[in-house]
Structure 1
């Protein structure tokens, strides 16, 4: 068995992975020999049109399924291309395994001008990964992969990079004695700390719960806990759907808005689980105005995260899901804390549907929900997504995510939606993109067509980078580089073999959604100016 064959067998048989995203290169052809067939078949290879797209697809696959997304990437430019996608996954704690080639062992660090050579590819990528490892002995591959999956399954996840010198891919290696993966458990919080948390929460008069993306695999425990505490609950962008749709204690991802800031400042005990308490979830107005003055209890897999961003009273290191379950066991009876009333009052003050910043998108999301109620919504950084972060309520977790959090890259929405569709073929998927950001990765439409994926690409066309224009206006900066000349998106999409249409009202959007194909993608371009005009015109 060669090292490349062993890698494929370990991914498939030991770790149960079935999909790989990658673009072949002259340095990785031995990996592709191992994917040809025979006893190492059974892994689906998806070919994006750019390595950044590969990374975003792996990210979307991982968020939609909970399984690591895997990429095969060539030396040098392949790795610099995927680095942005790894940065987004690192910021949002998304499990991603990036396997790359690197130059032969004898030439590493020599600066001889070899094909795709970097001074140190491993050092370059270490900054956007949980760890980056150069394999120097093929016999160590099982151990290095086990380390990667220990990160994915037992600590705060994120991208892991393993680079294999090209002279090792066809090197012989002994067949392992067994193909079983080790059984790993995540840490549970200290019992004494849990007892202290229960004591404070029980005595609280105005408790508040903050639930982040770390909780997505424990929706039942999360719902039971907040109901027993009778506590208003912020569910962040990556935690949407955790409590179910329109739960009476769910404040949504609205922590940056005045009514919720007031509620948070008045809370006497705050429980934050699986959330960074980061800027893009709690302070999207960027004024550091989200203040917690009560006792803050935090639970997180990452001990260092416990002391970031807000003053801590009690910190517990542990898995979010098991911690929620343990808290539920220690709080057997529902309390009466006025949580539903406090939640309803805060939401009434927000009045999101009538907020001028969000109101134009209320009928958009109503049309999407009516046509595709089970859809996974995958977004880029674009106006409908900024509004959806506040407006959307999903029936389950892992059905709403986007690149407006954390790293905040552009070009994410389309390829990540493709990854989500590959991971969850039974669910419809909608990519929410803008005319500016989609140009970063528009070529991935070819992948969606090739794979016959029924992704709906909803393209909000407002003629440029609207969010940056607003910031320029607010700071007295003249528009430069933001008023873009757009291509004919319908012609481009049809050139890829993708069905495409243009709409300018909720009625025409509903009609387009009703005619979407089920054997390939469809691009729906929304004329933002026409959309606004239709809402202002009496129907």
Structure 2
């Protein structure tokens, strides 16, 4: 007879039942933390988690059938991002190649600090026969499995080798998933025999648990000194990162910028924190940024980073902030990021921190919290000349965008910028754009006129090719009534088109725009600038000399999308494109718009204020292109600095 107040279930059944009772709460009603499970089944999870999902039923734990393990993680990650990290998905795979295929997706989620629960099967805990199918044998270590590849890319990792060990492991996993400062990929490895083993679970394990996401404000002492630094600045600049969006601090940012007159530039993850037409918005910053934002960055004497990790693209490999007196104030939920660039660290939630800093900058009589003494502090606002300079710079950039979008011949094939321009005329704040890799992130960061805080969904923390289509599925699941666009280059499309089948199966009306420029054009352009002469970047047959410089490959990506079940529209001209995009936006089934683009680059060069990116160039070479590239590289490296 089982002990009282227990429930006899397998480990897999117990885990899934436990997941249905986990909730988050943040400034509103509670939400399910794990709302669905993705899976591809093999011998390592079919009899355990597969059977448990069947037993539980789709009403309690919805299931999504994937085609590629990496893509399932991408879909789950995009769902979590659009859910403001308050809800997430689980992903289960078999042991072996299914599990190792999770690694790239896991890294992407952890880099972007987005919650996803990974439940890979694992080899037998009881080791009845070694090696079993798809088992890695390590002669010097008997407890290593292929799942150990997931350790460095997981925010939390555990292997459940006994049923009762699930209880502390599951609770620890939920804590990390719900913690905005610690979240990322959470991996619970489940040996296939343990999954199916029964245990008498305490009923208390299955009670509803609410994981409250706290909006912690920074320390008052730190905020006081940050406000002093702002008051001393003549040319302050605020850089909005992804933390602004994750904390839902857009309104706090808009209020802060309006009251202080401080201009706001945005990272890729932070774009949309302010709409493009907000008076304080000066556009994207860094290597893919605008001339307006980068000019202000080069001359800023104080930079306030809010929710940014300060990646090398944002800092232009530490060459962007050139004012000798520049100092940094970093508001971030993680202590690690708040101390970057030797900044004055404000550790806390973006919204709570902006509100507290804004209060410090408002006119009042106050007592310094440490030294004592009373003083009158006037309301802080940048001077009119600086605000005028910012407006003028932004206006100049908007004219550049107009020029890049301009159409002079409706019967011509479009450039990539013109594709964005046509789409710009069709969308509303409801539309969501997804991209991750190639030359599109640069063009989008520079050109796209973001109309709502969650319209711009560019994954540039890991910039993973193949992210866009599965991410569109995840976002569409999170926002079923909104138009969701996946903008995909031909190189990215060829990496991972198979989740089109999932979109068709689930009847999700995602819109996929394939821009075919016949190769890895982004890296081709980079290759040219670093002296590698576009080697191996075009989609061409081999020429007689053995190089890939022959005729273009006869690829038909539109036919491929159609073969996977997608409605497909072809556009050869700008007029065709306008009609096809309109039709796709109104479509209620998964729809692909295929267009070949002219490869001429309309958004680079000195007029864009492009900032440097450190891609090392060969120090010794005989080919003139590499010799010239090295000379230019050495000039840029000389401008790099450590901020101390």
TM-score, normalised on structure 2? 0.76
What is the alpha-carbon distance in structure 1 between the residues aligned to residue 506 and residue 443 of structure 2? 31
Counterpart secondary structure, 1:471? helix
Residues 1:297 and 2:326 aligned together:
no
Q: RMSD over aligned Cα, in angstroms?
A: 2.7
What is the alpha-carbon distance in structure 2 between the residues aligned to residue 344 and residue 167 of structure 1? 65
| Distance verdict in 2 for CA 1:78–1:389, change over 3 Å | same
Farther off after superposition, 376-385 or 181-190? 181-190
- 1:509 CA drift (Å): 1.8
What whole-Å deviation, never above 9, does each CA across 1:397-431 have from its counterpart, x for those lacking one?
2322224x222221111111111111111111000
| Distance verdict in 2 for CA 1:151–1:441, change over 3 Å | same
Contact 1:504-1:531 within 8 A present in 2 as well: no
| Distance verdict in 2 for CA 1:474–1:199, change over 3 Å | closer
Farther off after superposition, 328-337 or 226-235? 328-337
Residues 1:262 and 2:304 aligned together:
no
Alignment of 1:246-285 (within 5 A): 246-256=277-287, 257=290, 259-283=292-316
Alignment of 1:75-114 (within 5 A): 75-107=95-127, 112-114=130-132
Counterpart secondary structure, 2:265? strand
Which among 179, 188, 201 is matched to residue 162 of structure 1?
A: 188
| Distance verdict in 2 for CA 1:307–1:355, change over 3 Å | farther
Farther off after superposition, 120-129 or 442-451? 120-129
Partner of 2:471: 416
- 1:39 CA drift (Å): 6.9
- 1:258 CA drift (Å): 5.2
Partner of 1:341: 388
Partner of 1:200: 229
Partner of 1:10: 18
Partner of 2:411: none
Partner of 2:400: 352
What whole-Å deviation, never above 9, does each CA across 1:95-123 have from its counterpart, x for those lacking one?
22111111121339x9x322222333343
Which among 135, 140, 151 is matched to residue 160 of structure 2?
A: 135
- Equivalent pairs counted in the alignment come to 526
What whole-Å deviation, never above 9, does each CA across 1:453-484 have from its counterpart, x for those lacking one?
11110011000101121122223324443221
- 1:37 CA drift (Å): 4.9
What is the alpha-carbon distance in structure 2 between the residues aligned to residue 117 and residue 328 of structure 1? 57
Contact 1:63-1:398 within 8 A present in 2 as well: no
Contact 1:65-1:398 within 8 A present in 2 as well: no
- 1:40 CA drift (Å): 7.6
Counterpart secondary structure, 2:101? helix
Greater C-alpha Rg? 2
Counterpart secondary structure, 2:580? helix
What is the alpha-carbon distance in structure 1 between the residues aligned to residue 194 and residue 127 of structure 2? 13
What is the alpha-carbon distance in structure 1 between the residues aligned to residue 513 and residue 485 of structure 2? 7
- 1:343 CA drift (Å): 2.4
Partner of 2:37: 20
What is the alpha-carbon distance in structure 2 between the residues aligned to residue 344 and residue 156 of structure 1? 38
Farther off after superposition, 254-263 or 519-528? 254-263
Contact 1:241-1:396 within 8 A present in 2 as well: yes
Partner of 1:224: 255
Partner of 2:60: 42
Counterpart secondary structure, 1:501? strand
Residues 1:389 and 2:448 aligned together:
no
What is the alpha-carbon distance in structure 2 between the residues aligned to residue 161 and residue 21 of structure 1? 14
Counterpart secondary structure, 2:568? strand
Partner of 2:622: none
TM-score, normalised on structure 1? 0.90
Partner of 1:121: 146
- 1:252 CA drift (Å): 1.9
Residues 1:307 and 2:356 aligned together:
no
Counterpart secondary structure, 2:66? coil
- 1:182 CA drift (Å): 4.2
- 1:38 CA drift (Å): 4.9
What is the alpha-carbon distance in structure 2 between the residues aligned to residue 486 and residue 8 of structure 1? 47
